[in-house]
Amino acid sequence: MSVICFLPLSLPISNMTDLISSSSPSLETWQPSASIENLRLRAEVLNQIRYFFTERQVLEVDTPILGRGGSTDPYLDSMQSQCQGGGLIEPLSLYLQTSPEFHMKRLLAAGSGAIWQLARSFRNGEFSERHNPEFAMLEWYRPGFDLEDLMLEVQALLVMVIGDLPFEKISYRELFQCHLNLDPFQTNLLMLQEKAERETGIDGKELDRDTCCDLLLSHCIEPHLGEDRFTFVFDYPASQAALAKVHQDEFGERVAARFECYHQGIELANGYHELTDGEEQARRFTQDNQSRADLGKDEVTPDHHLVAALKSGIPECAGVALGFDRMLMLKAKAKCLSDVISFAIDRA
């Protein structure tokens, strides 16, 4: 079965559409991209996960895919839709969620306690061997947990699904020092730009610090992470906090209270000690939209309901988003995401 999977990490949606529409039609394109065996595996793993959270008394929830606010992240592009008629006075512009985070945090503010869900999520222009514009996100939130507690729970779930492998924790700073012999916090911007250009071939003159570090991480470091284990990377720069709290590390640097988990060079999970300050959240939304404008991207309507929920009071908690399809890909020893999705975008 022919499956398109070896594409750039972030393919522009116009090119992706051209690619799909220009594919030669054949009698086989109606068939699923995943084997029936892998679809059975998918169902088995979902049953395992339900048992995992039931045993821990974490409530399964189901939240909307559509919302009035989208992701303001400068490097994520939301898909949009419009609802009209049916009693609406004016058409309502809506975003398809890039993750269920906003609605789930509103449930936390309403007193839900620990919650989880497997949610459909959407990100425009992402189609490659590890990406599909529509994908399954496993997300859960644990009031009273810190990052250490959450890392242990992520490890337990991955051991249950993928296998009993060792795990390691390493800071973002240590990662760069180990693999590239540089400190990502202290190295000046010019040296980072030159290093990024040498290692990736991309012109580094106009790159900011975070972009340089992201390029070095993705090209030079990520392929080696979690080769025979689960690797948790923590203490990212504060500029990469997203929706996480910020604190000082042992060197006095402001760092984000978040981690990412890797296995076989693939990012599987992104966990936060969640931001609970509504005013700070509103400020970050505004800052993100300014960054989008600087990149020539459209402004995204922030989720004002989330800001209101945070201001009303949300429990201290840790939360994580885990790529369900990627986890299945590793479990099945598949070569690309399409092998574990019933109908990838080129067959949807």
pLDDT of residue 8: 33
Residue 282 included in any domain: yes
pLDDT of residue 162: 96
Residue 74 included in any domain: yes
Angle (deg, nearest 10), helices 209-216 and 172-180: 60
Identify the CATH number of the domain in which residue 259 sits: 3.30.930.10
Measured distance CA(348)–CA(337) in Å, rounded: 14
Strand partners, 140: 116, 320
What percentage of the chain carries pLDDT values higher than 90? 82
Residue 313 has pLDDT above 90, yes or no: yes
Interval 19-32 mean pLDDT? 64
Measured distance CA(115)–CA(345) in Å, rounded: 29
Measured distance CA(159)–CA(163) in Å, rounded: 4
pLDDT of residue 22: 46
Residue 297 included in any domain: yes
pLDDT tens figures, 159-171 = 999 999 999 999 9
What percentage of the chain carries pLDDT values higher than 70? 92
Measured distance CA(97)–CA(122) in Å, rounded: 6
pLDDT tens figures, 29-54 = 899 999 999 999 999 999 999 999 99
pLDDT of residue 129: 87
Using pLDDT thresholds of 50, 70 and 90, give the confidence band for residue 88: confident
Measured distance CA(74)–CA(155) in Å, rounded: 30
Q: How many CB atoms lie within 10 A of CB 231?
A: 24
Q: For the stretch 130-160, what's the b/e string if a residue is b when 16 or more beta carbons lie within 10 angstroms of its beta carbon? A: bbbbbbbbbbbbbbebebeebbebbbebbee
Question: 87 is in which domain, residue-wise?
Answer: 62-113+147-166+228-326
Tokens of 163: 């296998």
More confident call, 21 vs 319: 319
User: What is the rounded radius of gyration, in angstroms, for the C-alpha atoms of the chain?
Assistant: 20
pLDDT tens figures, 223-243 = 999 999 999 999 999 999 989
- Own/partner pairs for 43-46, CB < 8 Å, 24+ apart? 45/161, 45/327, 45/328, 45/331, 46/118
CA distances from 163 to 79, 155, 232 (A): 35, 10, 16
Interval 267-278 mean pLDDT? 97
pLDDT of residue 29: 82
Residue 303 included in any domain: yes
Interval 133-149 mean pLDDT? 97
Residue 10 has pLDDT above 50, yes or no: no
Using pLDDT thresholds of 50, 70 and 90, give the confidence band for residue 11: very low
Residue 310 included in any domain: yes
Residue 210, exposed/middle/buried by CB under 10 A (0-12, 13-18, 19+)?
middle
Using pLDDT thresholds of 50, 70 and 90, give the confidence band for residue 291: very high
Interval 246-263 mean pLDDT? 94
Tokens of 140: 């859960």
pLDDT of residue 204: 83
Number of domains making up the chain? 1
Q: For the stretch 93-122, what's the b/e string if a residue is b when 16 or more beta carbons lie within 10 angstroms of its beta carbon? A: ebbbbbbbbbbbbbbbbeebebbbbbbebb
Tokens of 217: 């991480």
Interval 9-25 mean pLDDT? 46
Residue 281 included in any domain: yes
Give this prediction's pTM: 0.89
Residue 272 has pLDDT above 80, yes or no: yes
Residue 6 has pLDDT above 80, yes or no: no
Residue 343 has pLDDT above 50, yes or no: yes
pLDDT tens figures, 176-198 = 999 999 999 999 999 999 999 99
Interval 309-314 mean pLDDT? 96
Interval 237-266 mean pLDDT? 94
- Residues 6+ away with beta carbon under 8 Å from 280: none
Residue 43, exposed/middle/buried by CB under 10 A (0-12, 13-18, 19+)?
exposed
pLDDT of residue 26: 58
Using pLDDT thresholds of 50, 70 and 90, give the confidence band for residue 27: low
Residue 261 included in any domain: yes
How many CA atoms lie within 13 Å of 213's alpha carbon, on the beta-carbon side? Answer: 20
Strand partners, 331: none
When the pLDDT of each residue in the chain is averaged and rounded to a whole number, the result is 90
Q: Which of 133, 188, 134 is closest to 11 using CA atoms?
A: 133
Residue 57 has pLDDT above 60, yes or no: yes
Tokens of 61: 């929830």
Helices and strands of the chain, counted as H and E runs: 10, 12
Give the SS3 label for residue 314.
coil
Interval 288-297 mean pLDDT? 93
Contact of 235 with 256, CB cutoff 8 Å: yes
Residue 301 included in any domain: yes
